[in-house]
Amino acid sequence: MSETRFCCHCAGELRKESTTVGLGFYNVPIWIKNVKVDVCSNCKVRHFDAALLDLIVKLARELRQTSDELGLKIKNVEIEFEMEKEDNKDVYKKVE
């Protein structure tokens, strides 16, 4: 049984949703596919897991530093998480 969580902006109820999001840190555009975030049912604000954001910021920092050292320009970074079968039963039923 999971506890109900609420939005820090409007106190609306949060629900888990798999989505694609685009973030930019250190001038590095990062697209993340199939990431689970909490979305407010009221104001639709996305709430990210702090550990995930920390990982993305560290990745962007390292990519930026390395690309500057090598004289390269980062055009796009794409991360895709594998969908978990149990959490996405309906999607898999449609595919199978």
pLDDT in tens, 29-50: 999 888 888 999 999 888 888 8
Assigned domain for 8 exists:
no
Q: Dump pLDDT digits (tens) for 54-68.
A: 888 999 999 999 999
Rounded Cα–Cα distance for residues 12 and 63 (Å): 36
Give the domain range for residue 56. 20-35+49-95
Whether residue 5 lies inside any domain: the answer is no
Please answer whether residues 40 and 11 qualify as being in contact, where contact means their C-beta atoms are separated by less than 8 angstroms. no
Higher per-residue confidence, 95 vs 8: 8
**Is 68 part of any domain?**
yes
Is 3 inside a domain boundary? no
Residue 74 resides in a domain = yes
Which uninterrupted H or E stretch holds 26?
Answer: none
Q: What is the count of structural domains for the chain?
A: 1
What is the gyration radius of the CA atoms in the chain, in angstroms? 16
**Percent above pLDDT 70 for the chain:** 83
pLDDT over 60 at 87, yes or no = no
pTM: 0.67
What is the structure's pLDDT at 63? 94
**Cα 23-28-32 angle, rounded to 5 deg:** 40
Question: Considering the domain boundaries, does residue 13 fall inside one?
Answer: no
pLDDT score for 29: 92
Q: Based on the number of CB atoms within 10 Å of its own CB, is 40 exposed (0-12), middle (13-18) or buried (19 or more)?
A: buried
Cα angle at 88 between 31 and 17, to 5 degrees? 50
91 part of a folded domain: yes
| 24 lies in some domain | yes
